[in-house]
Each structure stands twice: as structure tokens, then as C-alpha cells.
Amino acid sequence: MLTIDEQISKIREDFPILNRKVRGNKDLVYLDNAATTQKPKQVIDTISNYYLEINANVHRGIHALSEEASELYEQSHKKVSDFVNSKFEEMIFTKNTTESINIVANGLEDILSKGDEIVLTRYEHHANLIPFQQVAKKTGAVIKFIENDDNYNLDMQSAENIVNDNTKFISFPHMSNVIGSITPAKELTKLGHEYGAMVHLDAAQSVPHMKVDVKDLDVDFMSFSGHKMLAPMGTGGLYGKEELLEKLHPFLFGGDMIEYVSYEEATWNVLPWKFEAGTPNVAGGLGLGAAVDYLENIGMDRVSQIEHYLTKHAMKRLEELDFITVYGPDANSRGGVISFNIIGGDNGMFVHPHDVAALMDERGIAIRAGHHCAQPLVTQIMKLPATSRMSFYIYNTIEEIDFAINSLVDVNKMFN
Ligand code: 7TS
């Protein structure tokens, strides 16, 4: 068995981009994995092999290439559905979490009516907020928010106070992309079901990082992005329980999603194709399958272990620095996302995250600064203009984290 550091070195060999230089001759230190991850050779080869050897539309032709493309595309659906323990029919390929959530929210327009309640959390990424704001406007439903405790963990007591017989739909993130806190997904789902509500999990920040089992969690819908788990840009997934997907109105209409069409009307194709209208991103879908193979080869428990190892180290080092404020729970109850600010060095100055990120970038370090597409959380709850954020994945090293943190010491010296 390799040590974690040895395994990371081995994994890095599959990611040629990690050897590139940026900003002159600086080694790239990529710590923006919550936004998107890098792609291993195995995924890139799958995409180029599709275009070099197979390229054809799926589900249309009876010629050899179309048959091969269709077979591989379906195999990829099978891999992804197995990955989260769903049935084949229950896994729809989308272009990202945002599209997945919009499919669900669109379907709610037929289901919700005036006075019904949608329950969200204070963490929401805009993708898990705005689609429901729109549904609420169209249907007259009301949105309520579960509060956090002082450490930005979801407060189950608040959830119990808010969820009631009027609650028809609950949506929440499995892990916050700002704070890194992990929500009690199983408990909250159970609470929703006790009141007959449907539950959607925004798993954009969990499916790439931990073993997620939709049957065990018992969520009704779940959205995630392939591009945040080594797969190509423009890939994602939506899981839905079969009986609910059967009821849900399709989002896009056209080719491939139909069974029978006349000039007057149409009937819908079987699942999952009912929700995959038009020519899909076949190369992307195959790449997503290859990414799942790659992660399963490492093992999702090992993926979590590697990230926890990196996060624990980073948290320990950051906590030693009195000019750094880290937001959210301690290393043991968070994922590999760390939001922080430089506040209160010798001059007590708040260094704007955009300055921090720009100075880190000069050293070749990619971090994200801003509200991370969760503006209400950062500005209304945390009452900050922005945070800096480091986020890790399986190819990051302790040396990279040390270099980033030593660079924060330098940045602070420039201001304080
Ligand atoms: N939900 C969560 C929890 C996210 O972190 C993101 C993306 C999304 C939904 C939307 O995913 P998309 O693939 O549809 O864009 N989060 C981030 C981020 O933290 N930085 O850039 C994108």
C-alpha cells in the first residue's frame, strides 16, 4: 500500500497540465478545484479517441459508428448510475449541476401552488437558489431558509422548526462550496419525507469527493457536475427516483426525447432519454464515464482520505497564523474547501481577497476570491464583501499547500 504522499505523486503523473508553468516561469499550483478540476490523460484520451475513431450521433443510425457511439454512451450512463447507486433509468446526463437543478425546478411549476413552501438553506450556490425563486414567483409558493449555527453548520433544530405540512420541496447542498461544511443529508431527507416533501440534494461538492449513495440517502433528486470530478467541461448528472421522473414535465423538447409524434401531439421517450432532448455531448458523456472509472480505481474512500489529509494540514497551518480568519467548522467536519480572509495583522487591516488572489497568482497559485456564486451567504450572513478560497483535489500536495500558506505570510507582510 502506497503512503498518501506516494499515491498523490503517482496520480499527478496522469495530469500533464500540473507540470506547466504560469506567469513567466512559476510552477502551477492549482487550488481552485471547487470551481472545476483538472482532467487526467485517461479522460482526455477517451474524448480524443471518440473523435478520432467513432464520432457519430447516438440513437439514430443503424450504421456501425452510430451503433458503437450509442453503446458506449449507454455504458457510460450505466457507470455513472452505478457510481451513485442509482438505476440506469434514473440517471440523466446534463451539462452541469445548474442544468440539472433547472430541470427539477421547471417540473415543480406543475406541482406547486400558492402557499406551498420550498425550504432551502443559507448556503445556497446561486444555482440552487435562483431556479426556486423563479418557481416561487410563478406558482405563489413561499421560500423558507434553514439557519446555520455560529460555526456555519446547518442547524437541525432550525430545520425542525421550519419544515411542516406545507413544505412540498426541500433543496440543500451536501457540502457548502464556500464554507466546506457538510450537511446532515440523510437526517434532513428523513425530516422532509416525514412531512411528505420531495427532497433534492445539490451534490456538486460531494459526489466528486466522497462515496455518495442515493438509495442510502433516500433523496428524491440529486444534481452534480462532471467537470468538478475530472470529467470534461459541459458534463453533469441528474438523479431522480423513477416514479418522480415519470411524473416530471420535460424541460427541453425535440428529437430523442419523444416516442411518437404527430402534427398535433407527441408522447415522451422512456427514461432517461425523456430528459435528454437533442444531440447530446457524446464525447463528454464518455469522458464522464472515464472519470468515474478513474475515481473508482482509486476508490472513493481513498479520495476522501487524501482530501482530508490535505485539508487537515492546511487548517493546522492556517490556524497558526494570527492574521488569518478561517470560516466554518474544524478540519474533522469539513470537506476540502477553505474560505479565509487576511484580517488583523499588525495594522489590523482587511486585505481584499481580490488583492490576495492577484498576489498569489503572481506566484503561480490559483485560488478563487469573491462571493463564490453564493452572494447572499457571503454578504448577508457572513457580512463580508468576499473571501479567498483554497480548494483541494486528489493531485494536490502538502508542498503546494505549504507554498500557498507561506505566500499568504508574504502577502500579509505587504499590507500589515
Ligand atoms: N452547487 C454548488 C454547491 C456548487 O459549488 C456549484 C459550482 C454549483 C452548484 C453549480 O455548478 P455548475 O457546474 O452548474 O456551475 N460551484 C462553483 C464554485 O464554487 N466556483 O465555481 C463554481
CA distance 165 to 317: 47
Evaluate whether residue 182 is within a structural domain. yes
Last residue of a domain, one of 253, 269, 297: 297
Ligand 1, residue 368: give the atom nearest the CA.
20
Residues with Cβ within 6 A of ligand 1? 34-35, 96-98, 125, 127-128, 173, 177, 202, 204-205, 225, 368, 372-373
For 16-50, what is each residue's pLDDT tens digit?
Answer: 999 999 999 999 999 999 999 999 999 999 999 99
Burial 234-254 (b: 16+ CB within 10 A, else e): bbbbbbbbeeebeebebbeee
| Residue 113 Cα distances to 101, 118, 120, 141, 143, angstroms | 19, 11, 17, 6, 12
Q: Which three cell numbers stand for residue 302?
A: 481513498
- 394 CA distance to ligand 1 centroid (A)? 18
Residues 221 and 272 in one domain: yes
The pLDDT, as a whole number, for residue 377 is: 95
The pLDDT, as a whole number, for residue 416 is: 83
Ligand 1, residue 100: give the atom nearest the CA.
14
| CA-angle at 207, arms to 205 and 212, nearest 5° | 130
Containing structural domain, residue 217: 44-297
Residues 119 and 214 in one domain: yes
Ligand 1, residue 124: give the atom nearest the CA.
3
Last residue of a domain, one of 297, 329, 352: 297
348: left (phi over 0), alpha (psi -120 to 50) or beta: left
Using the structure block, give the residue that is written with the C-alpha cell 475515481: 295
> What is the 8-class DSSP label of residue 336?
S
The pLDDT, as a whole number, for residue 345 is: 66
Q: What is the CATH number of the domain that holds 250?
A: 3.40.640.10
Catalytic residue among 69, 118, 222, 373: 373
Residues 327 and 196 in one domain: no
The pLDDT, as a whole number, for residue 94 is: 98
Residues 85 and 173 in one domain: yes
Active site annotation includes 180: no
- The total domain count for the chain is 2
> What is the 8-class DSSP label of residue 301?
H
pTM for this prediction: 0.98
- Give, for ligand 1, the residue of 373, 377, 390, 392 to mutate: max count of ligand atoms closer than 8 Å to Cβ: 373
Residues 96 and 59 in one domain: yes
- 388 CA distance to ligand 1 centroid (A)? 16
Evaluate whether residue 35 is within a structural domain. no
Residues 286 and 310 in one domain: no
Residues 284 and 157 in one domain: yes
Residues 249 and 131 in one domain: yes
Evaluate whether residue 39 is within a structural domain. no
- 35 CA distance to ligand 1 centroid (A)? 6
Kindly give the parts of the chain with pLDDT less than 50: none
Evaluate whether residue 38 is within a structural domain. no
Evaluate whether residue 37 is within a structural domain. no
Ligand 1, residue 99: give the atom nearest the CA.
14
The pLDDT, as a whole number, for residue 250 is: 96
For 149-199, what is each residue's pLDDT tens digit?
Answer: 999 999 999 999 999 999 999 999 999 999 999 999 999 999 999 999 999
Q: What is the dihedral of CA 108, 112, 113, 119, to 10 degrees?
A: -110
Closest listed residue to residue 107, CA positions, set 50, 48, 169, 161: 169
Evaluate whether residue 394 is within a structural domain. yes
Q: What is the CATH number of the domain that holds 353?
A: 3.90.1150.10
For 346-370, what is each residue's pLDDT tens digit?
Answer: 677 899 999 999 999 999 999 999 9
Burial of 214 (0-12, 13-18, 19+ CB in 10 A): buried
Evaluate whether residue 364 is within a structural domain. yes
